[in-house]
Structure 1
Amino acid sequence: MADIKEDNQPYDEINITPMLDLAYVLLVIFIIMTTASVQGVKVEIPETKATGNLAKPDIRGITITGEGDVYLDAYPVDLGTLEQRLGEYKANNPELPVVLKGDAAAHYEKVSAVLEICKKLGITEVGLVTKKAEG
């Protein structure tokens, strides 16, 4: 009987372990949601009246900024690295689709160089990202 009486005694200290568990879970959720919202590189896309096609599942995105920087799937690359990585992806998927998203202020020479790399590697499915013009 003495054991039961001791179990019902008030606590002298608060157990904060469940509260810390909750805080860590909320912190992890916050970190995941914050990093998940960063997708690619922001560029000003030129407008067109044609409607775009839906993206294919195993698609690779190439972005060219107004300053002439080239990104492959949101990672900065130079043209040599771009050719190497696209070659690896093409070896795994012979019908590799590529989407080229160029800033409206991007130099045509850089866009042409990227298209030449795609042609050299035999990538025939190249889409250009634009936004639909109003009117």
Structure 2
Amino acid sequence: MKIRKMVTLDSNSEGFANPQDVQQYMDQNKLKTLSAALKTLMDEHHQLSQQVTQQQQLVHEIVEGIMAQLRPTEKKVTLTDRNVMVLLKLFDGVVVQNGWDNLPIPDDTMKPTTVARKIVSDQIKNDYIHQQTNQRHHRGGSADA
């Protein structure tokens, strides 16, 4: 049983198979009939689709290989993060016990810490003031209300 299908080539569609492009393809590949040209085009499309699929699989395998190599590094980084968190908690405990003014840290180290605390405190205050000002503007109040 043969099934007939009708193919329409539109000369107005840009980027689609218009009659001139199909005729040029037929001339380049020395094809005599439109059905042979369409069959060849479909075969090429199928081959290119398979190549794309194979390349995607290759990319997936490469990514898996790279991730397998990075896993030990990821574990080391995670352990380093945990160690830093332990040290920060230990430092917080020392601060809670002794207070900022009585920390057993030399003055050379304490001065940058104090300066950094002052800068961060000022930034927090400025951000709070900015947020309060924006909230008043959004509520319809004035900035100095």
TM-score (norm 2): 0.27
Higher relative contact order (CA 8 A, sep 6+): 1
- Between structures 1 and 2, the one with greater strand share: 1
TM-score under structure 1 normalisation?
0.28
